[in-house]
């Protein structure tokens, strides 16, 4: 090993086990006589004992141990673009190659009835690895390899001069995919063995115990609820007849009426249609409330008396699919009838040592798939669900729900909530129907890798709120101008995370807030309207900058939109309609800026991430897109001070039609009406394929066949079966 003197070593996880059983044996076997003085070994993750032991053992032979310093929001390539953005593209390639793995190919042939098993496994592959304490996810590992590649080429001479780069990494189910990726970058993977603990596997053994604990927590909530209620009744001397007004009796027989199932994600707001609502399409169409069942599954946003009262007031039904998502005993909690697991045949998928980890991984996730599938089939059947509606296509459960719907004769619908520049590994879908803003999403956005029989172009789904919020926006503007502001900007953030390493856009967001708030304090003519994505956590995340926010608010020229459970209740347009210019500080997730532009406000972007391939770069650079807040502010001042302003400043007119071909405020109405047609078809007893084809034909007659993108258009719409509801 003559070239060992010019080698660099990286370690995924520096622990006592990896050091004793893998790293030290490798060094003493291959490099005993070739250590260099002050040589370094770099690590990404570590345990305290592992790091201490490494320093004690390696210091006498003058090998230094040093952690790789990186920040997700700041580590950039030679062109100044975030390495994380490249990682996302890399992950898609690995995900595409994943389905060609021999284990996966054998699984797909064996489980043909599980229609969406492959996308389910592909997503799980990136989500986690049934990992031990410090085992990184697949996406993190790709990122680490990218960082190593950048570090070793930062001077442009390392690999060209024969430098060998080694990366000690846990052996994984899909290590071969990672090894191929690393080898292309001349990085050699060395396995640190199978220090691999199937934590999830052992949890599954104790499902009964976990269920028991959840029940204890639930009944604890029930006892607490009634104790507090009795104390309230006694305090105010209310009649006992007020008790359980909205109670839905356990064991109540669910009607046979076909229903639309809607996922709750923190927003009802039936009394305030100008705010976000998970039922927005019901508010804006003639879809009957009686046809809708809303389900609660998030412990962070449980259903309580307030939500249940609002739901009952408007004639909807509600159910909690998780006892921890119920904060009132007056709501029905779905109890799944456990079935015997019939997936033991997964143990015989493959029997050679080469694929042992892949075999174990597949066994666990096929069992997980079937467990979730059985849950949703049970739920869908007992509640007669014929259509499921959600925006959340990012999780692996998404594929399971769609399979359960298809096998029970129902339809899975996904609506576009965010503007998506390009494909990502977690946003593709195989839904039956997707309601998208425009043609762009299907052909160039995140859905271009998806399998969607009916892609329905409806327009921007939040456009109905534009007129509803105009008066409030005017009131906010008048309040700021009454305190001297004659130029007003709106600013949108993306709820960044304050983490020492995984902090995408955190630093730049804090800098933006600090910069703009200081401008409010320095310039008595400047006003600022803030629309944070999560107002509840903003002040704590701002840290010392929160003092600037308080000072700016005291001037009367700074207003912040607050309220919301998981995220803010107000949409971005609430802020932009009261401003002269809107500023979106985060280019990767561009929805807030797109909404402001569609509402007619001159809108500017800060592209810190470095995304020159985004379609938004059709907009004028230095008139719409800026690299830093200082150049953006200078452009604003020039625009405001120049007679007539800077031509084309904040102008989106050349791409508005690509974002929304309608722009008429009726997108939510179109979606709600489409869902109404689907449920009408099921009420008429028609099979799902006929229901889908019929709805598409009706939509095409009204809004144009060009507003439907479908591989089924030619074969289905032209030959709709007899007995449909079409006129």
If one counts the domains in the chain, the total is 4
- Give the torsion through C-alpha atoms of 415, 420, 422, 423, to 10 deg: -40
Q: Is residue 159 part of a domain?
A: yes
β-partners of residue 296 are 320
Residues 273, 267: Cα–Cα separation, whole Å: 11
| 263 and 402 housed in the same domain | yes
| 377 and 490 housed in the same domain | no
Q: Which tokens is 555 given?
A: 């001037």
| 490 and 578 housed in the same domain | yes
Q: Is residue 110 part of a domain?
A: no
Residues 561, 121: Cα–Cα separation, whole Å: 40
Least confident of 73-87, 197-211, 371-385, 569-583: 197-211
Q: What's the rounded mean pLDDT across residues 684-692?
A: 96
Would you say 497 and 602 are in contact if contact means Cβ atoms under 8 Å apart?
Answer: no
Q: Nearest 5°: CA angle at 473, between 662 and 639? A: 80
pLDDT, greater one: 75 or 202? 75
Would you say 279 and 292 are in contact if contact means Cβ atoms under 8 Å apart?
Answer: yes
The yes-or-no verdict on residue 419 having pLDDT over 80 is yes
- Categorize the per-residue pLDDT at 518 as very low, low, confident or very high, splitting at 50, 70 and 90: very high
Would you say 624 and 650 are in contact if contact means Cβ atoms under 8 Å apart?
Answer: yes
Would you say 614 and 513 are in contact if contact means Cβ atoms under 8 Å apart?
Answer: no
Residues 371, 365: Cα–Cα separation, whole Å: 10
Helix H or strand E encompassing 226? helix 207-236
pLDDT tens track for 622-658: 899 999 999 999 999 999 999 999 999 999 999 999 9
- In sequence order, the 6+-apart residues with CB closer than 8 A to the CB of 600 are none
Residues 101, 98: Cα–Cα separation, whole Å: 6
The yes-or-no verdict on residue 10 having pLDDT over 90 is yes
- Mean pLDDT, the chain, as a whole number? 84
Q: At 321, phi and psi to the nearest 5?
A: -95, 0
Residues 180, 522: Cα–Cα separation, whole Å: 55
Q: Which tokens is 424 given?
A: 């990502």
Q: Is residue 509 part of a domain?
A: yes
Q: Nearest 5°: CA angle at 254, between 252 and 260? A: 140
pLDDT value of residue 3: 43
| 419 and 499 housed in the same domain | no
Q: How far is CA 203 from the centre of its chain?
A: 26
Q: What is the DSSP string of 407-460?
A: HTT-EEEEE--S---S--TT-----SEEEESSHHHHHTSGGGGS--SEEEE---
Q: How many residues does the chain have?
A: 727
Q: Is residue 123 part of a domain?
A: no
pLDDT, greater one: 235 or 307? 307
Residues 120, 342: Cα–Cα separation, whole Å: 19
Residues 94, 120: Cα–Cα separation, whole Å: 15
- Categorize the per-residue pLDDT at 347 as very low, low, confident or very high, splitting at 50, 70 and 90: low
Measured from the Cβ of residue 174, the count of other Cβ atoms closer than 10 Å reads 21
| 396 and 507 housed in the same domain | no
Tokens 């990767």 -> residue: 588
pLDDT, greater one: 503 or 584? 584
Would you say 671 and 435 are in contact if contact means Cβ atoms under 8 Å apart?
Answer: yes
pLDDT value of residue 486: 96
pLDDT, greater one: 21 or 660? 660
- Categorize the per-residue pLDDT at 228 as very low, low, confident or very high, splitting at 50, 70 and 90: low
Q: Which tokens is 708 given?
A: 């439907």
| 585 and 546 housed in the same domain | yes
Q: Is residue 692 part of a domain?
A: yes
Residues 481, 113: Cα–Cα separation, whole Å: 63
pLDDT, greater one: 294 or 125? 294
Residue 308, judged by CB atoms within 10 A of its CB (0-12, 13-18, 19+), counts as buried
Would you say 529 and 489 are in contact if contact means Cβ atoms under 8 Å apart?
Answer: yes
pLDDT, greater one: 449 or 340? 449
Pairing mode of beta strands 454-457, 708-709: antiparallel
Q: At 92, phi and psi to the nearest 5?
A: -65, -40
Q: Considering the entire predicted model, what is its pTM?
A: 0.87
β-partners of residue 143 are none
Q: What is the DSSP string of 526-571?
A: EEEEEE-S-HHHHHHHHTTHHHHHHHHHHTT-EEE----SSS-SS-
pLDDT tens track for 379-414: 999 999 999 999 999 888 899 999 999 999 999 999
Domain end, chosen from 656, 671, 690, is at 656
pLDDT tens track for 279-293: 999 988 999 999 999
Would you say 8 and 165 are in contact if contact means Cβ atoms under 8 Å apart?
Answer: yes
- Categorize the per-residue pLDDT at 207 as very low, low, confident or very high, splitting at 50, 70 and 90: low
Residue 690 backbone zone (phi > 0: left; psi -120 to 50: alpha; other: beta):
alpha
| 260 and 227 housed in the same domain | yes
The yes-or-no verdict on residue 712 having pLDDT over 70 is no
pLDDT value of residue 614: 83
CATH number at 531 reads 3.40.50
The yes-or-no verdict on residue 199 having pLDDT over 80 is no
Domain end, chosen from 604, 637, 656, is at 656
Q: Is residue 242 part of a domain?
A: yes
pLDDT value of residue 106: 82
Would you say 356 and 334 are in contact if contact means Cβ atoms under 8 Å apart?
Answer: no
Question: How many helices (H) and strands (E) are present in the chain, helices listed first?
Answer: 27, 19
| 499 and 546 housed in the same domain | yes
Q: What's the rounded mean pLDDT across residues 157-179?
A: 74
pLDDT value of residue 359: 78
pLDDT, greater one: 684 or 720? 684
The yes-or-no verdict on residue 243 having pLDDT over 50 is no
Residue 715, judged by CB atoms within 10 A of its CB (0-12, 13-18, 19+), counts as exposed
Q: Is residue 106 part of a domain?
A: no
Q: Which tokens is 695 given?
A: 């709805």
The yes-or-no verdict on residue 523 having pLDDT over 90 is yes
| 556 and 628 housed in the same domain | yes
User: For residue 547, what are the CA distances in angstroms to 484, 523, 542, 552?
Assistant: 22, 18, 9, 9
Three-state secondary-structure class, residue 161: helix
Least confident of 152-161, 326-335, 365-374, 587-596: 152-161
Encode 142-178 in three state secondary structure: HHHHHHHHHHHHCCCCCHHHCCEEEEEECCCCCHHHH
pLDDT value of residue 362: 85
| 666 and 708 housed in the same domain | yes
Tokens 């846990």 -> residue: 170
Three-state secondary-structure class, residue 386: strand
Would you say 292 and 316 are in contact if contact means Cβ atoms under 8 Å apart?
Answer: yes
pLDDT value of residue 354: 61
Q: Which tokens is 261 given?
A: 């199932």
Q: At 43, phi and psi to the nearest 5?
A: -130, 150
Pairing mode of beta strands 411-415, 708-709: unpaired
Q: How far is CA 682 from the centre of its chain?
A: 31
The yes-or-no verdict on residue 32 having pLDDT over 70 is no
| 329 and 472 housed in the same domain | no
Would you say 119 and 402 are in contact if contact means Cβ atoms under 8 Å apart?
Answer: no
pLDDT, greater one: 704 or 238? 704
Three-state secondary-structure class, residue 84: helix
pLDDT value of residue 535: 93
pLDDT, greater one: 661 or 35? 661
pLDDT value of residue 212: 60
Q: Nearest 5°: CA angle at 366, between 197 and 406? A: 150
Domain end, chosen from 143, 174, 197, is at 197
Domain span at residue 450 reads 408-463+660-727
Q: Is residue 107 part of a domain?
A: no
- Give the torsion through C-alpha atoms of 315, 319, 320, 323, to 10 deg: 120
Considering all CA atoms of the chain, what is the largest pairwise distance in Å, rounded to the nearest integer?
A: 90
β-partners of residue 630 are none
pLDDT value of residue 552: 98
Q: At 187, phi and psi to the nearest 5?
A: -110, 125
User: For residue 447, what are the CA distances in angstroms to 320, 393, 430, 667, 711?
Assistant: 30, 11, 9, 19, 14
Residues 252, 211: Cα–Cα separation, whole Å: 23
Residues 714, 727: Cα–Cα separation, whole Å: 19
Would you say 698 and 704 are in contact if contact means Cβ atoms under 8 Å apart?
Answer: no
Q: How far is CA 432 from the centre of its chain?
A: 20
pLDDT value of residue 623: 94
First to last CA, the chain: 80
Q: Which tokens is 619 given?
A: 């907009």
pLDDT, greater one: 135 or 124? 124
Residues 476, 527: Cα–Cα separation, whole Å: 11
| 9 and 80 housed in the same domain | yes
């Amino acid at each position: 090993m003559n070239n060992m003197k010019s080698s660099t070593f990286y370690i995924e996880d520096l622990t006592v086990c990896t050091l004793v059983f893998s790293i030290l044996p490798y060094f003493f076997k291959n490099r005993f006589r070739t250590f260099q003085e002050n040589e370094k070994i770099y690590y990404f993750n570590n345990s305290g004992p592992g790091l201490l032991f490494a320093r004690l053992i390696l210091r006498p032979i003058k090998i230094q141990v040093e952690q790789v310093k990186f920040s997700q929001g700041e580590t950039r390539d030679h062109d100044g673009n975030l390495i994380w953005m490249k990682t996302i593209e890399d992950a898609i390639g690995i995900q595409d190659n994943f389905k060609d793995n021999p284990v996966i190919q054998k699984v797909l042939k064996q489980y043909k009835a599980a229609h969406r098993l492959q996308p389910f496994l592909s997503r799980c592959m990136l989500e986690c690895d049934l990992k031990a304490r410090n085992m990184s996810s697949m996406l993190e590992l790709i990122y680490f390899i990218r960082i190593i590649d950048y570090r070793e080429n930062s001077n442009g001479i390392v690999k060209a001069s024969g430098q060998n780069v080694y990366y000690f990494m846990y052996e994984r189910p899909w290590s071969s995919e990672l090894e191929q990726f690393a080898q292309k970058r001349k990085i050699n993977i060395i396995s640190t063995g199978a220090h691999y603990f199937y934590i999830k596997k052992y949890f599954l053994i104790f499902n009964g115990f976990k269920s028991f604990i959840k029940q204890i927590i639930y009944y604890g909530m029930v006892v607490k609820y009634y104790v507090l209620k009795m104390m309230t009744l006694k305090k105010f001397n209310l009649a006992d007849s007020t008790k359980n007004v909205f109670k839905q009796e356990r064991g109540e027989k669910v009607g046979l009426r076909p229903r639309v199932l809607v996922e709750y994600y923190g927003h009802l707001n039936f009394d305030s249609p100008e705010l976000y609502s998970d039922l927005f399409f019901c508010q804006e169409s003639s879809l009957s409330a009686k046809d809708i069942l809303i389900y609660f599954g998030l412990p962070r946003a449980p259903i309580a008396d307030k939500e249940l009262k609002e739901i009952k007031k408007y004639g909807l039904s509600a159910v909690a699919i998780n006892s921890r998502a119920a904060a009132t005993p007056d709501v029905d909690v779905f109890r799944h009838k456990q079935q015997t697991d019939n997936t033991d045949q997964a143990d015989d998928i493959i029997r050679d040592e080469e694929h042992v980890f892949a075999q174990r991984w597949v066994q666990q996730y096929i069992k997980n798939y079937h467990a979730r599938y059985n849950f949703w089939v049970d739920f869908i059947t007992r509640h007669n669900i014929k259509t499921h509606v959600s925006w959340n296509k990012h999780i692996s459960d998404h594929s399971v729900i769609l399979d359960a719907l298809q096998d029970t004769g129902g339809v899975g619908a996904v609506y576009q909530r965010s503007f998506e520049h390009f494909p990502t590994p977690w946003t593709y879908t195989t839904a039956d129907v997707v309601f998208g803003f425009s043609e762009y999403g299907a052909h160039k956005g995140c859905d271009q890798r998806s399998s969607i029989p009916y892609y329905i172009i409806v327009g921007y789904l939040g456009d109905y709120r534009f007129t509803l919020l105009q008066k409030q926006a005017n009131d906010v503007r008048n309040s700021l101008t009454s305190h001297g502001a004659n130029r007003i900007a709106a600013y949108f953030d993306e709820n960044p995370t304050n983490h020492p390493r995984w902090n995408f856009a955190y630093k730049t967001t804090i800098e933006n807030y600090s910069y703009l708030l200081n401008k409010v304090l320095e310039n008595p003519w400047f006003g600022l309207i803030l629309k944070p994505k999560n107002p509840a956590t903003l002040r704590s995340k701002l840290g010392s900058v929160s003092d600037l926010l308080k000072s700016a608010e005291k001037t009367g020229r700074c207003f912040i939109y607050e309220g919301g459970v998981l995220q803010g209740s107000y949409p971005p347009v609430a802020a932009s309609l009261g401003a002269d210019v809107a500023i979106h500080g985060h280019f990767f997730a561009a929805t807030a800026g797109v909404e402001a532009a569609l509402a007619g406000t001159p809108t500017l972007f800060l592209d810190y991430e470095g995304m020159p391939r985004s379609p938004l770069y059709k907009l004028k650079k230095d008139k719409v897109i800026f690299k830093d807040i200082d150049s953006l502010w200078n452009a604003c001042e020039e625009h405001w001070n120049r007679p007539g302003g800077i031509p084309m400043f904040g102008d989106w007119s050349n791409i508005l039609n690509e974002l929304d071909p309608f722009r008429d405020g009726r997108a939510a109405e179109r979606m709600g009406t489409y869902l109404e047609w689907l449920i009408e078809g099921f009420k008429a007893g028609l099979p799902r394929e006929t229901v889908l084809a019929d709805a598409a034909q009706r939509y095409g007659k009204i809004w144009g066949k060009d507003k439907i993108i479908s591989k089924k258009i030619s074969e289905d719409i032209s030959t709709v079966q007899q007995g449909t509801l079409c006129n």
